[in-house]
Amino acid sequence: MSKFLSAMKVAGVIAVVVVVGIVLGWLAGRNPRADASNPAASAGHSASPDPSLALTTRLQTNSGPHRFTRHLSGGGGSANSAVPNPNLITNWDERVDEILTAEGPENEKAKKMLEMFPNLPEEGQVEVAQHLSNLVADEDYASLARLLTDPSVPESVLDILFGDVLNRPNSLKLPALLDVARDPENPKASEARDILELFLEEDYGADWNIWQVKMEQWLKDNPD
């Protein structure tokens, strides 16, 4: 009797499994779009994300409307790219020759070159800086000294201007070097501070008021 009951239980379990299989197969047949909408799943593996789509989605989700300005497809320039100068002088070499060969005092030639300087390409600024070093007299040096602290001036031009200021009288040189040393963003700041330290024989750190007082005292004690 017990063997009969066991056989009946096994048969019942088998029947349940068969019925469940038939129901599941019927349900799958009723919804053929489930697999069609996910071709990766029907192929037996998970779908790989599209890197460009993922990047675009992440930018749209996490970034503000103006925080990412570079074109992803072209690798174009960033928002910090320099704006072209509409007044750029392309025939600067001819203009420089005209100024140098014209009749007139050197200070007038220097004035004309200073006026055109902001609109020159870097190559032109380098050449003009060399001429200005020779044309600008000590009494007019203030007009040239301002370029040493102009953040738009390329370092190649600063090299020339810095070399020029070292040949000026101490009364012009030390104040100009102090102005350069004050600005940590200036490529010549460290070098200017080192030279000041040689003159004053002391390093006053970032206390620029003390630097100013000590420099003025030194110039008073050591007139040109």
Instruction: Catalogue the E-assigned strands of 94-221.
Output: none
- Would you give the DSSP letter of residue 140? G
> For position 141, what pLDDT does the model report?
97
User: Residue 48 pLDDT more than 90?
Assistant: no
Answer yes or no: do 149 and 107 share one domain: yes
* pLDDT tens by residue, 125-162: 999 999 999 999 999 999 999 999 999 999 999 999 99
Question: Which of 86 and 170 is assigned the larger pLDDT?
Answer: 170
Q: Are residues 162 and 180 in the same domain?
A: no
For the record, the structure tokens of 105 come out as: 């005092």
Categorize the per-residue pLDDT at 80 as very low, low, confident or very high, splitting at 50, 70 and 90: very low
Higher pLDDT, 165 or 70: 165
Question: Which 3 state secondary structure label does DSSP give 141?
Answer: coil
On average, the pLDDT of the chain sits at 77
| Pair 103, 157 in one domain | yes
Residue 73 lies in a domain: no
The residues near 168 (Cβ < 8 Å, ≥ 6 apart) are 138, 141, 176
Q: Which domain holds residue 215?
A: 170-224
Neighbours of 214 (CB within 10 A): 18
The verdict on 163 and 174 lying in the same domain is no
Asked if residue 2 belongs to a domain, the reply is no
- CA-nearest of 85, 139, 133 to 109 is 133
61 belongs to a structural domain: no
- Is residue 169 within 8 A of residue 199, CB to CB? The reply is no
The total of structural domains in the chain comes to: 2
Within a domain: residue 40?
no
Contact of 147 with 117, CB cutoff 8 Å: yes
Task: Identify the pLDDT of residue 83.
Answer: 72
Q: Are 175 and 159 within one domain?
A: no
Please tell me whether residues 157 and 190 are part of one structural domain. no
Residue whose tokens read 């960033």: 78
Residue 87 has what pLDDT? 87
Do 142 and 98 sit in the same domain of this protein?
yes
